[in-house]
Chains A and B, each alone.
Chain A
Amino acid sequence: EAGVAQSPRYKIIEKRQSVAFWCNPISGHATLYWYQQILGQGPKLLIQFQNNGVVDDSQLPKDRFSAERLKGVDSTLKIQPAKLEDSAVYLCASVRGDTQYFGPGTRLTVL
């Protein structure tokens, strides 16, 4: 089966600009996660979706980050406006059973 797809793979923006990331999970996976992985650290959960509903967004900086999964399939994560400390890899994962399957991530550099 096809894996989790993410785009773009790389993005460079200046601070205060906006950026959006896209994720297409594995077909049939109802649960989707977005993680932020800062260089030298493990991934940290940002938001969890179950179908098109948000299950947990307690770790999402809602003043600048937003995410949606309108039809319960693809998801987008947006940052507006970006800060220097948002430079990281943004990972999307979808779930089957007790296993999370990760996409390749989007590496964001904020200058």
Chain B
Amino acid sequence: GEDVEQSLFLSVREGDSSVINCTYTDSSSTYLYWYKQEPGAGLQLLTYIFSNMDMKQDQRLTVLLNKKDKHLSLRIADTQTGDSAIYFCAESYYNTDKLIFGTGTRLQVFP
């Protein structure tokens, strides 16, 4: 069955880079997404990558995709305290627009 896995916690110092990792199972996924969830809020789309791309950069965010290993990562440069949140990766299910979410990685940024 489909399964998207993430590490549960990541703690970084303010100003450092953060790298959040995700492994997925559906090789037919068209898009892979990163969402951010702050306490008490819904999910905010951060960025997404098309499956035929290896990398996508958007300001402080860099997404790397390794299709062979089914590995997705999100790098946040110059991490700020406002980046503290839970980050979810998601894959589209069997080339549809349904999403399968990972368990989420809680990012804590300390001064």
Asked whether any CB of chain A lies closer than 8 Å to the CB of B55, the reply is: no
Interface string of A89-111 (1 = CB under 8 A from B): 00101010011111111010000
Asked whether any CB of chain B lies closer than 8 Å to the CB of A48, the reply is: yes
A102 to B48, CA, bound (A): 15
- A residues with CB within 8 A of B: 4, 6, 31, 33, 40-45, 48, 56, 91, 93, 95, 98-105, 107
- B residues with CB within 8 A of A: 4, 30-31, 35, 40-45, 48, 88, 90, 92, 97-99, 101-104
Q: Which residues of A contact B44 (CB under 8 A)?
A: 102
13 sample A-B contacts, Cβ–Cβ < 8 Å, listed by A number: A6-B42, A31-B97, A40-B104, A41-B103, A42-B4, A45-B98, A98-B92, A98-B97, A100-B45, A100-B99, A102-B44, A105-B41, A107-B40
CB pair A42 B30 closer than 8 Å: no
Known: A31-B97, A42-B88. A98 touches B30 (CB 8 A): yes
Known: A40-B103, A42-B88, A99-B48. A91 touches B43 (CB 8 A): yes
A6 to B10, CA, bound (A): 30
Q: How far is the CB of A38 from the nearest CB of chain B, in Å?
A: 11
Q: How far is the CB of A87 from the nearest CB of chain B, in Å?
A: 16
CB pair B42 A91 closer than 8 Å: yes
A91 to B104, CA, bound (A): 16
